[in-house]
Structure 1
Amino acid sequence: MPALILARHGETDVIGKKLTGRINGIHLNASGRKQADVIAAYLKSLKIGAIFSSPLERAMETARPLSEACGIPISPHSGLTEINFGAWQGRPYRQLEKLKLWQTIQTSPSRVTFPAGESFITARQRMVASLEEIVSVLGKNDVAVCFSHCDPIRLAIAYFLNMALDDFQRLTIEPGSLSLVIFIDGKIRLGPINFQAAESESPFRLNEIMRLSMPEE
């Protein structure tokens, strides 16, 4: 019964200001570094089998404290990276919100391919395939932590919930949040979603959640 903890990277100075996408050189700010430390303190007591991360700096920096606390190296995984926003990458939201395509993104993202970039459909396929690949190499009761980005995590969780792609933006995945996905005999059960770790709490009560998720004999 392997499980994945999907972690969104911590805060940066440009969140909510511009569409960063795959731009290099975007680092965690002080709040983001604190979030990374809290995630590490919260999860280090779990039996973590592997740590995977988007190769972008802000995700790797969020993963690093947990890696150091657990003594487990980070495995960069390109499938966990941010959506390729193409020509939109790096542009301020105040500019993008004036474009016709922006309205389509809000109502029918399944129809959208970013100029010189990726479609939401392709991004969902990539993220889900990557998570399934990671699960396939885990042991029966292993837990892996996957550090990624808002939209890829939302797309994957919406898929696991059998939500239409056009509804994925109804989900909220905040910076530094954790979401639990448990795989049981080919089926998927979700634990807490968009959960904010706290140093003073026990991690997810993960063992209890996984026990309750086991099929009855």
Structure 2
Amino acid sequence: MATLLLLRHGRTTANAEGGLAGRQPVELDDTGRAQADAVGQRLRGLPLSAVVTSPLIRCRQTLELALPQATPVVEEGLIECGYGAWEGQPLKKLAKEKLWPVVQQHPSAAVFPDGESMAQMSARAVAAVRAWDARITAEHGPEAVWLACSHGDVIKAIVADALGVHLDLFQRIVADPASLTAIRYTPLRPFLVRLNDTGGDLASLVPPPARRRRRATGPADSDAAVGGGAGATG
């Protein structure tokens, strides 16, 4: 199967001010623009078969700076969680709400007033990336690499699904602004290849040709490397 790169948008004015942007049209600040430029340097040269994005402007701005030659496709399933009445509020104020401990400790039960539930967010985001991954694999082959730009909680929910852990554990996962997370789906299980990666070479994320990846007498693509394996260059 193809390899998915999840890119979180760069830092926004809301991030810098300690607010919850939600689906408001907040934009990148100077730091966020610099982060987008930097991740673009890292992505340069990767053979991306597709670039998909949340419809919100902070994601589109990130891609305009990071991948100016790309033509991203908007995917509504990657939009930020619908925080409803929480949107635009300072996090320090929200931390006093009765719902806050639920969001922190039992997010699968969290339903935001006038918004959506975290479970709904997780379900539609996971469905979106899995559908895109299957489509890209069918069209471009199992060596394809594609990128999806989205938001912190959305990426964390996708990672939790890939790890096979309950959504209630997703707050243990970190996705910093402009970080890259790599997931490779296979017929039996996904593999989390990188998480919250903010520096370093990305060339090893491109799978080698099939004749090197799989031999008739060797392990299948869905098999984990017992003992840890030799890494991407092995």
Q: TM-score, normalised by structure 2?
A: 0.84
Is 1:216 matched up with 2:224?
A: no
Could you tell me which runs of 5 or more consecutive residues in structure 2 were left unpaired when the two chains were aligned: 221-234
Amino acid at match of 1:148: S
C-alpha distance in 2, partners of 1:37/1:150? 19
Give the structure 2 partner of residue 206 of structure 1.
Answer: 205
Q: Contact 2:184–2:192 at 8 Å: present in 1 too?
A: yes
Amino acid at match of 2:21: T
Give the structure 2 partner of residue 40 of structure 1.
Answer: 40
Is 1:148 matched up with 2:146?
A: no
Residues 148-193 of structure 1, C-alpha deviations (whole Å, 9 max, x = no match): 0000000110111011111100001100100001122353111110
User: Closer, same or farther in 2 for the Cα pair 1:174/1:117, shift >3 Å?
Assistant: same
Larger Rg: 2
How many equivalent pairs are there?
A: 211
Secondary structure of 1:58 counterpart: helix
Runs of 4 or more above 4 Å deviation: 208-215
Q: CA deviation at 1:107?
A: 1.4
C-alpha distance in 1, partners of 2:91/2:34? 26
User: Closer, same or farther in 2 for the Cα pair 1:88/1:100, shift >3 Å?
Assistant: same
> Which runs of structure 2 are paired with 1:15-30 in the superposition (5 Å)?
15=15, 17-24=18-25, 26-30=26-30
Give the structure 1 partner of residue 11 of structure 2.
Answer: 11
C-alpha distance in 2, partners of 1:101/1:48? 40
Give the structure 1 partner of residue 223 of structure 2.
Answer: none
Secondary structure of 1:52 counterpart: strand
Q: Contact 1:53–1:76 at 8 Å: present in 2 too?
A: yes
Segment of structure 1 superposing worse, 166-175 or 99-108: 99-108
Amino acid at match of 1:18: G
Segment of structure 1 superposing worse, 201-210 or 185-194: 201-210
Is 1:81 matched up with 2:79?
A: yes
C-alpha distance in 2, partners of 1:184/1:22? 32
Give the structure 2 partner of residue 115 of structure 1.
Answer: 113
C-alpha distance in 2, partners of 1:42/1:209? 19
C-alpha distance in 1, partners of 2:75/2:163? 24
Q: Contact 1:39–1:66 at 8 Å: present in 2 too?
A: yes
Give the structure 1 partner of residue 161 of structure 2.
Answer: 159
Is 1:168 matched up with 2:180?
A: no
User: Closer, same or farther in 2 for the Cα pair 1:102/1:209, shift >3 Å?
Assistant: farther
C-alpha distance in 1, partners of 2:207/2:67? 24
Amino acid at match of 2:97: L
Q: CA deviation at 1:100?
A: 0.9
Q: Contact 1:182–1:210 at 8 Å: present in 2 too?
A: no
> Which runs of structure 2 are paired with 1:124-135 in the superposition (5 Å)?
124-135=122-133
C-alpha distance in 2, partners of 1:79/1:173? 18
Q: CA deviation at 1:105?
A: 1.3
Superposed CA RMSD in Å reads: 2.0
